[in-house]
Chains A and B, each alone.
Chain A
């Protein structure tokens, strides 16, 4: 039996998460642990793949899940480069590079917005979520 809260929780994929090593799986796991909304995010690992294969894999995942948002880890990363190629000519898609956990947490709760709008909002949240404490701060 599902409660109102359960039925209000979107579970369909809304974005791809891709990056180095286990970055994507780790972040999505953390989102799931904190919010139970990890199913909105599709983690993609690209180890051992060529640039062409990374692009093909990301493109395939986007089409399969019908999503238009990609979160990546590093601006110079292969996933970011491949995503920028994919987004070329796609006016309705958004790439967020430099993703952190606060970014994704904001995204999965912003289900009243379209995924691209939610991604832009989440990027700002993630940017402002970095704080410094301790010596010299």
Chain B
């Protein structure tokens, strides 16, 4: 099959990903791309315990993922690729692996970020980074769960969905 979804979600493995997207898309494996998690056995074990036994979970650094994505796309099962931040997803897009759509699933509050959606808070630099992703052909939409309407980048940044 293919990688069905390329998602930015700072909670990484959690209910929306494993259950919310995993079940309707029949996701058999998740590729978690994070430089810290990829080098920590403890972190990997933490996330492994969060997925059901029938779902495989693979860990890569951003650099490593660029070389591995073609192999995952050739996998006969359906997969989902997950990054915890915009910068990691941008590295993958810059790596020329042909990502044409990016799902913003959750970027939560922290100092310096402005709320744009119920589940999306962005710094000015992060807004620029999303615009750059979009301009490079990796169409950016926000959608926390499959039943929600995808929200285009312009509408995310306008913040209109909050009103």
On A, residues with C-beta under 8 Å from B are 20, 48-53, 73-78, 80-81, 84-85, 88
Contacts and interface: CB of A to CB of B under 8 A. Distances in A.
A81 B108 contact: no
Given A52-B110, A80-B50, 5 more contacts: A48-B118, A50-B108, A51-B108, A78-B14, A81-B14
Nearest to A82: B11
Given A81-B46, A85-B46, A50 B14 contact: no
Contacts of B108: 48-51, 53
B19 A74 contact: yes
Please provide the 10 A-B residue pairs with the shortest distance between their CB atoms, ordered closest to farther: A50-B108, A76-B50, A76-B18, A78-B14, A77-B15, A78-B11, A74-B15, A51-B11, A76-B15, A50-B10
B109 A81 contact: no
Contacts of A50: 10-11, 108-110
B109 A75 contact: no
Interface residues on B, range: 20 to 34
User: Chain A: interface secondary structure?
Assistant: loop
Contact of A76 (B51, B118, B119): B51
Nearest to B17: A76
Contacts of B46: 81, 84-85
Nearest to B12: A51
B148 interface: no
- Prevailing SS type, chain B contact patch: loop
Contacts of A49: 108-109
B29 to A, nearest CB: 15
15 contacts: A48-B108, A48-B109, A48-B118, A50-B11, A51-B108, A73-B15, A74-B15, A76-B13, A76-B15, A76-B19, A76-B51, A78-B11, A78-B15, A81-B47, A81-B50
A11 to B, nearest CB: 32
A94 B17 CA distance: 25
Contacts of A76: 13-15, 17-19, 50-51
Nearest to B14: A78
Given A76-B18, A81-B46, A85-B46, A48 B119 contact: yes
B49 interface: yes
A81 B118 contact: no
Contacts of B47: 81
A75 to B, nearest CB: 6
B28 to A, nearest CB: 15
A76 to B, nearest CB: 4
A85 B46 CA distance: 8
Contacts of B14: 76-78, 81
Task: Give the most central of B46, B47, B108, B119: most A CB within 10 Å.
Answer: B108
